[in-house]
Structure 1
């Protein structure tokens, strides 16, 4: 029997089992502070959302909902704080995780040191990108799923409609997709600018621009619908929860008039005469329905993911062509 002693037997310590080895271990160790901070933020956010959902449930039960209709929606400070934090999350991840991922190594010379070893630039950067994207997905995916779980059963109590940014952008796949896109943009900006502070500032400006632009194109993610219903009738049930994009009145032959075409006249008699003269018989509404929300979210998320793939591919190509 061999009498050779292992290091563990000589020191009396049990050997440590590493879940990560090689390059993955190096990347996680290098960015452990950022990863742990993001995971801690995710855990705190998850606990906060679960707690606030319970608070809303208790408040609604206290007023007799759903047996009794709500007299007004709920817009507590905690809800506004939650929505603001979720809206800021993609920007925070892009600035503090994406923008610093490569630029810090370039500025401090770590990139040159690593890539002079046996690890290629492409393999080193791929490992860093994988861990960055995984961290972003876990963080944004968890809080988005929990906020969706909070909002869906109680959406009638929220002061924000489904098509408003605070709801549309923070539920379903949109928040993870937007966070990934902005994080990938931050990495690319950092790679090109090579300075941490400058990369963070430019990434912040780009992220704010993207979020503003996203709000402008949100309603273009689905084809609007048109519906006619009699002039003096109540809106049909299918319009409940709709996002109204435009409205007209129309004659029997389909001619459209502005919604206030006859309502601005001084007397009801004059208004009725205007309606009769123009043959107006219907209301016409152009709208997006609540049932279109999932398709709109996945369409938007698809475009954002394509952008993420393009930015990531460019980053890897750029790193392979030029020294870091």
Structure 2
């Protein structure tokens, strides 16, 4: 006869031994996906180091920074690398998060485990801890290496710092996005209780989140504006800025669409400028100096979502049988 489910350990089992048993069980259950994640992290890390070495050799051969470097500096290998990093949160959500609890529910392992010496809460917290820990370590390592690869040479790369290939793969964004999507996968698995359905729904949810994140990214910090004469060049200090919008402006500050007089011939252009009184260019932009604050703001939003989803999973699992 099985022992009734309880949140208290039996008298014959110490908490320390029970904790070790729970960790051993989780590692044994998920050793395949954890080993795959470890291998992926190691291979991607070596790939990053190799790519950085190739970039340094290319720049040295071109005489950079004293000489300009022909564009594009990086090619298909860079695109493949950033695609892999950008896909990692989705991969973790679908193959690690979604089946984490759903597989145990579907196979009956959850009920079996919690009738032994491991309490339901201990088992759940252990699984979530290993899951989130593995995702966090992998993404922190890869994000740190990619930041080390990109930051010193960003001025010669033809990719803006606000593009997903850079913004989402450097700093805290990659780990935070991976944790949020993984937590979402776990939550979907607990709700649907079927592995395949959970993986499919998690993938669709991750695509929706990635799309929404693309729309949110520009709004993580207030934009700035800069006005300069119509016939002047954009100052060099704004060379790394991300242009959000551009206008033409008259002396009294009235804004016109940037192409208001752009298509006119020379004679018509003078007449158009005289009629509208346009004398300045106005650019609305996000500065590179805002990048770190924007990344931490976005990471904070994602981590808050991760905490909320994790609390919901623990709460629901403690109130309803798995």
TM norm. shorter chain > 0.5: yes
Whether contact under 8 Å (1:248, 1:259) holds in the other structure is yes
Shift of 1:157: 2.9
Whether contact under 8 Å (1:231, 1:281) holds in the other structure is yes
If you compute each CA radius of gyration, which structure gives the higher value, 1 or 2? 1
Please give the per-residue CA displacement for 1:185-244, whole angstroms capped at 9, x wherever unaligned. Answer: 000111111111111111111111111111111111110101111111111223211111
- Residue 239 of structure 1 aligns with which residue? 238
* Worse-superposed segment, 306-315 or 243-252: 243-252
Counterpart mapping for 1:73-84 below 5 A: 73-84=72-83
**Which consecutive unaligned segments of at least 5 residues does structure 1 have?**
1-17
**Which consecutive unaligned segments of at least 5 residues does structure 2 have?**
1-16
SS in 2 for 1:271: helix
Counterpart mapping for 1:77-96 below 5 A: 77-96=76-95
Shift of 1:168: 0.7
SS in 2 for 1:21: helix
Partner Cα distance (1:114, 1:22) in 2: 11
Match status 1:280 vs 2:262: no
- Residue 115 of structure 1 aligns with which residue? 114
- Residue 297 of structure 1 aligns with which residue? 295
Partner Cα distance (2:114, 2:120) in 1: 6
- Residue 306 of structure 1 aligns with which residue? 304
Whether contact under 8 Å (1:73, 1:156) holds in the other structure is no
RMSD: 1.4
* Worse-superposed segment, 151-160 or 310-319: 151-160
Partner Cα distance (2:303, 2:165) in 1: 20
TM-score, normalised via structure 2 length: 0.92
TM-score, normalised via structure 1 length: 0.91
- Residue 14 of structure 2 aligns with which residue? none
SS in 2 for 1:247: strand
Shift of 1:270: 2.0
Shift of 1:21: 2.1
Whether contact under 8 Å (1:91, 1:204) holds in the other structure is yes
- Residue 139 of structure 1 aligns with which residue? 138
Whether contact under 8 Å (1:242, 1:290) holds in the other structure is yes
Match status 1:103 vs 2:116: no
Partner Cα distance (1:48, 1:170) in 2: 15
Counterpart mapping for 1:146-295 below 5 A: 146-265=145-264, 267-295=265-293
Shift of 1:25: 2.1
